[in-house]
Chain A
């Protein structure tokens, strides 16, 4: 079992081991133990297509988040190869400036088969960093299409990063982006096409029905030259302030907690069903009959449902 006291003291070996336990599901008690100590960190999500410069942006914004002796935990999620089950986790290559900072903890995670851009365990790993006293938790995920919705369910502020080259991909993503982007960043501002993309996105945002008092800002950055970074960080901070002052932070966090609890209930019910309620042998017999068209799938469902309701 992980030593809670060492975790709360932010001992790095203890944090790292606790994360592994959570990822592998080998210590179910751990999350119970740490939960009372969570809820203090502010969660920032950075999502966007591969190569947009998400890791480079994290490398650039984190030093600013660290000001005033704050601590930052970073979770960098990359996809697991569906063929081998392995993963090449290379986000650290771009985060070299942070590698030796006492107040930074970086963890790379593979999605391990979860379909969303977010590993199914990312939320729990974030709780470990939260309990370890991080003031900010930055989560980098690859976002393509609709899956960036996933990250917005975890983060207080979601930053979507696009680049001039994203062109066609953006068309497909637009609906999803507008849905989740609290802040939109057009990175690689040094490349041609950045200003045109900004204009395009401004139009797209304008077309959207405005029922919020947060007007989603669109910012231009050049991560590798540290351009536009101050503004990005101050915009993140003003979004935080906006959520806090309007009372939305509490409302949204309760919504997220509700979602999470519902998810876990469904998981629990599902595994209970498969383990205890549905007699697999009997099911197999019925499937054989259904295959021969002697009974219908609906009949099977009714038979099983009878036992539950």
Chain B
């Protein structure tokens, strides 16, 4: 049996924009992935803890609140502290180009912005896991 790709979709912080996260979660399910959605208003600590217990391959964060420059580094840092750096971090949302560059340098694997076609996202995830 082909290994199932498991991914956690997280909405960290006080960001109430959950449309994108839900669209992505549904698209990934339809692509055959097992998607764990933890809901709105998550602490970074909860997201990392859930990702560990669920043994996901990827954490995908959806951030449209402008808090990406604090949340992404925090998640990366927590993963390091918990010896879970094997979990890949990607994301999407309202994130300016110059911030994306900085985030990629810190270790975020990829960031998608509004308009990114979901089939491209699916294709990308398959390409980094297999």
Tell me, yes or no, whether B19 is within 8 Å of chain A by CB: no
Complex Cα spacing A24 to B36, Å: 17
Task: Please name all residues of chain B whose beta carbon is closer than 8 Å to the beta carbon of A160 when the two chains form the complex.
Answer: none
Complex Cα spacing A106 to B36, Å: 12
Complex Cα spacing A15 to B52, Å: 9
A interface residues, tally (CB under 8 Å): 30
Q: Is the CB of B36 within 8 A of A92?
A: yes
Q: Is the CB of B55 within 8 A of A96?
A: no
Q: Is the CB of B35 within 8 A of A13?
A: no
Complex Cα spacing A68 to B46, Å: 24
Q: Is the CB of A86 within 8 A of B33?
A: yes
Q: Is the CB of A16 within 8 A of B32?
A: no
Task: Please name all residues of chain A whose beta carbon is closer than 8 Å to the beta carbon of B26 when the two chains form the complex.
Answer: 88
State the main secondary structure of chain A at its contact with B.
Answer: mixed
Task: Please name all residues of chain A whose beta carbon is closer than 8 Å to the beta carbon of B45 when the two chains form the complex.
Answer: 100
Tell me, yes or no, whether B50 is within 8 Å of chain A by CB: yes
Complex Cα spacing A76 to B88, Å: 24
Tell me, yes or no, whether A149 is within 8 Å of chain B by CB: no
Candidates B34, B39, B49; contact of A87 at CB < 8 Å: B34
Tell me, yes or no, whether B99 is within 8 Å of chain A by CB: no
Q: Mark A10-38, 1 if CB is under 8 A from B, else 0.
A: 00110111011000110000000000000
Most central of A16, A88, A106, A107 by chain B CB within 10 Å: A88
Tell me, yes or no, whether B127 is within 8 Å of chain A by CB: no
Tell me, yes or no, whether A108 is within 8 Å of chain B by CB: yes
Task: Please name all residues of chain B whose beta carbon is closer than 8 Å to the beta carbon of A84 when the two chains form the complex.
Answer: 29-32
A-B contact pairs, 25 of them (CB 8 A): A13-B82, A13-B83, A16-B52, A16-B55, A17-B55, A20-B55, A81-B30, A84-B32, A85-B32, A86-B28, A86-B29, A86-B33, A86-B35, A88-B35, A90-B36, A92-B36, A92-B38, A92-B39, A93-B37, A96-B38, A99-B46, A100-B43, A106-B54, A107-B54, A108-B34
Query: 17 other contacts beyond A86-B29, A88-B35, A99-B42, with CB at 8 A cut-off?
Result: A12-B49, A12-B52, A20-B55, A81-B29, A84-B31, A84-B32, A86-B31, A87-B34, A88-B29, A88-B37, A89-B37, A92-B38, A92-B50, A93-B38, A96-B46, A106-B54, A108-B34
